[in-house]
Amino acid sequence: MKGKEIVSGVVGASFFALGYLGLSVALVPSLVIGAGAYVASELVMKGPESGVDKIEDMSLKKRIEIARKSNKHISEMENEIDSLEVSRHLKKINKTTSKILNTIEKNKLNNKTSNKFLDYYLPVCVKIIDRYDEIENQELTSKDSKKYMDSSIKMIKETSLAFDKILDSLYQNDIYNNEAEMKVYNQMLKSDGYNSSELEVKDGDTDE
């Protein structure tokens, strides 16, 4: 049993003992309380990341369709944002997101990286952008609002860089496969008597 499960088990048992032995609650209700405490502890221990890894109960095609609408919204926000710096980052994010979605769709990717991008990173990115635009339109001048705006700009910039890395990650398997294929191809050229530069035929062999 993993450490987190042990902790959850202890929490569940403690609540059961408290109800059954300490408060003289009937056995069945005490078991229900203990089980509820165990489940609640499991959810708390797993944290928000567990929800990120869970694949949405909808087709990949539908999720990509939703993601494309979000990316279109990002493109539209390029002209809504007053800051030229932020607008430039949004343009880059929009372009990279298009490539990511095309890659996911083409290869029908349903792995951890693609799921996190579709279900978490892209939706949260849109929320940050919309919130930034909302604050910007209010033209607030307080210290807190300025600090929030600066943090948002930094986060949008970091998102642009992160999306580049996600795209690289999605292509990594293709790169490995292509490299392996090229090695096999090169070995076949050598075994058939061709060199890598001129495709020359071995002495004594002629084309028919």
pLDDT in tens, 45-96: 554 444 444 444 578 999 999 999 999 999 999 999 999 999 999 999 999 9
Number of domains in the chain: 2
| C-alpha closest to that of 122 among 173, 64, 80 | 64
Instruction: Based on the fold, state whether residues 91 and 187 are members of the same structural domain.
Output: yes
- Residues 87, 138, single domain; the answer is yes
Token code pair at residue 46: 């797993």
Same domain, 43 and 102: no
On whether both 35 and 75 belong to a single domain, the answer is: no
Does residue 204 sit within a domain? no
C-beta separation of 145 from 78 below 8 A: no
Verify that 43 and 65 share a domain, yes or no.
no
Predicted confidence band of residue 33 (pLDDT cuts 50, 70, 90): low
Q: DSSP letter string over 45-102?
A: HH-THHHHHSPPSS-HHHHHHHHHHHHHHHHHHTTT---HHHHHHHHHHHHHHHHHHH
pTM, whole model, 2 decimals? 0.61
Assigned domain for 24 exists: yes
Range of the domain at 153: 60-191
**Is residue 66 located within the same domain as residue 17?**
no
- pLDDT tens for residues 145-181? 888 899 999 999 999 999 999 999 888 867 776 777 8
Nearest by Cα to 105 from 60, 41, 70: 60
Whether residues 185 and 121 fall in one domain: yes
Residues 100, 137: one domain? yes
Torsion angle of alpha carbons 96, 101, 107, 110, nearest 10°? 120
